[in-house]
Amino acid sequence: MQTPPEALPCFSCKARHSPLCSVFDDEHIGILFARARIRTLKAGAYLLHEEERARQIYNTSSGALALERLASDGARQIMAFCYAGDFIGISSGPSWTVSARALKPSTACQWQEADIHALYRDWPKLEERIHAITSRVVEAIMDQLFVLGRKKAPAKIAWFLLFTEARLQHVSGTGGVFTMPMTRIDIADYLGLTVETVSRAFSDLRRKGYIRITDKWQVEIRDRAALAALSGYIQPGTGRRKG
C-alpha cells in the first residue's frame, strides 16, 4: 500500500522548504522521496570523498558538514559549511573535487544523478532550480575569496560570525544566539588563518563587547552594527549591510 503523502518524513524535515525539495508540492513530494536513500552520519564521518566518482547528489536534512579539499602538501582548505537544506552535487568533472565531513551527527538524502535528471521532463522547474543553486554557489565562493583577500583577521571573524548567524537563522528561524558546529581549527582552515590568530580575533571581539562566547561554543551577537561596520558584511540577497 502506498504511503500517504502526509506520513512521509519530508513533512517534519528541516529541508522540506529548501530550494531542491520545494519544487515539489505536498501532494508530489513522495516522487522525490521515493528515489532517495537516507544517509546518517556520525560526527567526523564522511558523506563523500575527494576524487570519488560523482554519480550522486545530496540534500542535507539535519546537522552540519564541511566541504574540504587537501593540497598536495597535506594542508586542508575548507571551502564551505553546509546546513539543513543545502544542496551538495555540483561537480564540473567526473569526480568530486571536495570531501564532505560531518561536523556533528547529520543526515542527508542521496539520489543517483541519473534519477534526478530523469525527473526534468515532468518537472522542468527542478532543472531550473538546480541551475539557480549552482549560480548561488558561485556567488558564495566569490564572497569567500573577497573576504580571504581583503580583510584582516578580526574583520574576517566578524564577517564569518554574521554569515554563520544568517545561515543558522535560516534553518532555525532564530538569530542573535547560536551554537557554532565547527571548531576553531575548522574556522582557521576556512578563512586561511592560523588557529592562534582565530583565537586572538575572537578574544578581541569579545573584549570590545561585540560578542559573548560560552564554554559550549555558543555565540551571542551583542553589537551587530559594530560587526557589520568592521567586516563590511552584506546580507545575502539584499545588497546592503546587515546591521
Are 192 and 186 spatial neighbours (Cβ–Cβ below 8 Å)? no
Residues 157 and 140 in one domain: no
Residues 123 and 42 in one domain: yes
Sheet containing strand 64-70, strands side by side: 46-48, 99-102, 64-70, 76-83
Instruction: For residue range 171-226, list pLDDT tens digits in order.
Output: 776 667 899 999 999 999 999 999 999 999 999 999 999 999 987 889 999 999 99
Task: Please indicate, yes or no, if residue 175 is contained in any of the structural domains.
Answer: yes
Residues 128 and 106 in one domain: yes
The count of domains in the chain is 2
Query: Cα–Cα distances in Å, from 12 out to 15, 39, 144?
Result: 9, 17, 32
Residues 193 and 130 in one domain: no
Residues 72 and 168 in one domain: no
pLDDT at 94: 85
Residues 221 and 158 in one domain: yes
pLDDT at 64: 96
Query: Cα–Cα distances in Å, from 182 out to 41, 79, 97, 159, 236?
Result: 16, 13, 21, 16, 21
Which residues in the chain come in under a pLDDT of 50?
A: 1, 238-243
pLDDT at 241: 44
